[in-house]
């Protein structure tokens, strides 16, 4: 039961992430005004505009996710013993979701939302998503370790560590690119390229081109690890799935650019990014709990 609940909490948090993307893509970040945690001074808005309901829905879902993580941590601590690694993973989940709420509150209170293209928002948005990935990683490790208890603190190959850092870089640059696409939408593929080359009035459009380049290079490296560094058995199956998601994600990224980033494509691209990150974490933890240690490279 605890394992199923842990996976359910992870799925819930992925849903919250996607709902947050809807808020950003629809420009609904200011839907509740510069108020937090209330929405325009109300616990539940009444006679509100669409943007307000979108923002309120995201806040409500985030609140449910926070309560779910608290319940997960309490359950893990109840059924495990002091010193078990799964407690550390659960604890990090709680720390990450609290900091997630704190970053979100700062973004709202300082009004780094809607049409704001300030340097502060350029920093806050990728920081927010990187923290989100830390949360998803902690929840993934918690769920996996609930079912497969690690015998000792994992020792990971350097290649895995660098790949993890690389995926966080992809997430950070991807969040900046998504923000640029929202604030400076292109009317055609050539118009988008022209904006990037000219830096059309904003630092956001100047750095937007970085994401597809680093995503392709780092993604290929992660896919290579999945295909070549896995051992026979469950680890190999996870590695194959990891490499497959990398391939689909690169294709989705190209489609997102060609189709001029429609909302449904943005959500699919983000969902695949979340899935890729979770699969990578599973690839790492499965290696760490195996009977045979992966050789450092």
Query: If we measure between CA atoms, which residue out of 230, 234, 270 comes closest to residue 252?
Result: 270
Whether the Cβ atoms of residue 68 and residue 10 lie closer than 8 Å to each other: no
Half-sphere exposure of 286 (CA within 13 A, CB side): 19
- SS3 letters for 22-86? HHHHCCCCCCCCCCCCCECCECCCCCCCHHHHHHHHHHHHHHHHHHHHHHHHHHHHHHCCCCCHH
Whether the Cβ atoms of residue 276 and residue 167 lie closer than 8 Å to each other: yes
Question: For the residues of 89-131, what is the DSSP string, one character each?
Answer: HHHHHHHHHHHHHHHHHHHHHTT--TT---HHHHHHHHHHHHH
Catalytic annotation, pick one of 55, 111, 147, 152: 55
111 is catalytic: no
Question: For the residues of 139-151, what is the DSSP string, one character each?
Answer: HHHHHHHHHS--S
Residues serving a catalytic function are 55
């Amino acid at each position: 039961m605890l394992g199923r609940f842990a996976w359910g909490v992870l799925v819930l948090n992925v849903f919250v992430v996607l709902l947050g993307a809807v808020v950003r893509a629809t420009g609904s970040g200011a839907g509740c005004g510069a108020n937090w945690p209330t929405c325009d001074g109300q616990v539940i808005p009444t006679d509100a505009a669409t943007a307000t309901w979108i923002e309120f829905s995201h806040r409500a879902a985030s609140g449910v996710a926070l309560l779910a993580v608290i319940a997960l941590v309490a359950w893990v601590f109840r059924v495990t013993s002091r010193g078990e690694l799964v407690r550390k993973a659960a604890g990090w989940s709680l720390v990450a979701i609290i900091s997630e709420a704190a970053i979100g509150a700062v973004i709202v209170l300082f009004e780094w939302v809607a049409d704001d293209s300030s340097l502060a928002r350029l920093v806050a948005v990728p920081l927010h998503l990187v923290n989100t990935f830390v949360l998803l990683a902690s929840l993934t490790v918690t769920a996996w370790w609930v079912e497969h208890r690690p015998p000792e603190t994992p020792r990971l190959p350097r290649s895995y560590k660098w790949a993890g850092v690389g995926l966080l870089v992809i997430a950070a640059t991807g969040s900046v690119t998504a923000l640029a696409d929202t604030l400076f939408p292109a009317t055609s593929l050539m118009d988008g390229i022209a904006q990037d080359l000219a830096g059309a009035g904003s630092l956001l459009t100047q750095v937007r081109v970085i994401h597809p380049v680093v995503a392709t290079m780092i993604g290929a490296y992660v896919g290579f690890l999945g295909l070549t560094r896995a051992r026979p058995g469950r680890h190999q199956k996870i590695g194959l799935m990891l490499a497959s998601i990398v391939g689909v994600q690169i294709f989705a990224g190209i489609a997102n650019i060609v189709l001029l980033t429609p909302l449904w494509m943005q959500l699919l691209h983000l969902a695949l990014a979340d899935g890729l990150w979770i699969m990578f974490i599973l690839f790492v933890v499965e290696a760490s709990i195996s009977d045979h240690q992966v050789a450092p490279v």
